[in-house]
Amino acid sequence: MRTALYVPGDRPDLLAKALGGTADELIVDLEDAVPVAAKERTRRDVAAWLRTLPARRPFVSVRINPGEPGHADVREIAGPGLDGLCVAKTESAAELDALDAVLTAAGADGLPVVPLLESAAAVLAAPAIARAPRVVRLQLGEADLTADLGVTPGPDESELLWARSQVVAAGAAAGLEPPIGPVSTEFRDLEAFRATTLRLKRLGFHGRACIHPAQLAVVAEVFTPTPAELDRARALLARYETGLAAGSGVFVGDDGRMVDEAVIRAARRLLAH
């Protein structure tokens, strides 16, 4: 999942457009994008929409509300067409234990869950949350997080580095898929958006959530390996296998740097991604 596009659940026009777009994943929002007065109706409408989805389509997740309202969301939407859940404002592993019981009762065996960590407490609990039932990756929600922390990110967003690194490390330690990056409200200055996306890639994120279709092409480009990168990774693997057959697990690459198992792991990851 390199590109994930948030779509308001109460906008059937945008849902139809996004379904035919380029995003790898659609995250249908039942939480912040939907007014409180419209939540029950939107939940029913999204459940009906899910049942109409064609077989060839993006991966479709739904961002559910936190707590008991989210359980009500699940009871309505669980079934055909639902590929995964994004759980807003997750604070603890215990919340995901309770959600797992609701999903099991709804017959949603094996449905993957992505917790959204949107507070300081959630980020500090990331190692435990990462090991909760059904969790396949973690995701940061930085709008609420910055408000909770009382920080104002500058152009390089260094104020959020610790939280981003915590989430990447917690997911890796639990053996999860790498996280996708948090959303940005910047969709007009795409060069600025590209710069922040590149920073997320260097930190260990393997994709990014988007709020506007204009962002998708930038994210796809940043997180798609170039032919030259793939060729180099294949060449490294070939030389490594040859070296192992000759009794050596280390060699010097064409750039003069030592290549060992750690470098090869990165090459394998690139080819698998």
CATH C-level class of 3-223: alpha beta
Confidence (pLDDT) at 88? 98
DSSP 182: P
Is 184 in contact with 193 (CB distance < 8 Å)? yes
Is 197 in contact with 218 (CB distance < 8 Å)? yes
Is 59 in contact with 26 (CB distance < 8 Å)? yes
Rounded Cα gap, residues 264 and 270, in angstroms = 10
**236 falls in which pLDDT band (50, 70, 90)?**
confident
Residues 167-198: tens digit of each pLDDT: 999 999 999 999 999 999 999 999 999 999 99
Confidence (pLDDT) at 232? 80
Domain residue ranges of the chain, discontinuous segments joined by +: 3-223, 227-272
Residues 190-229: tens digit of each pLDDT: 999 999 999 999 999 999 999 999 999 999 999 998 777 7
- Using alpha carbons, list the distances in angstroms from residue 111 to 43, 45, 67, 208, 265: 18, 21, 18, 21, 29
Confidence (pLDDT) at 212? 97
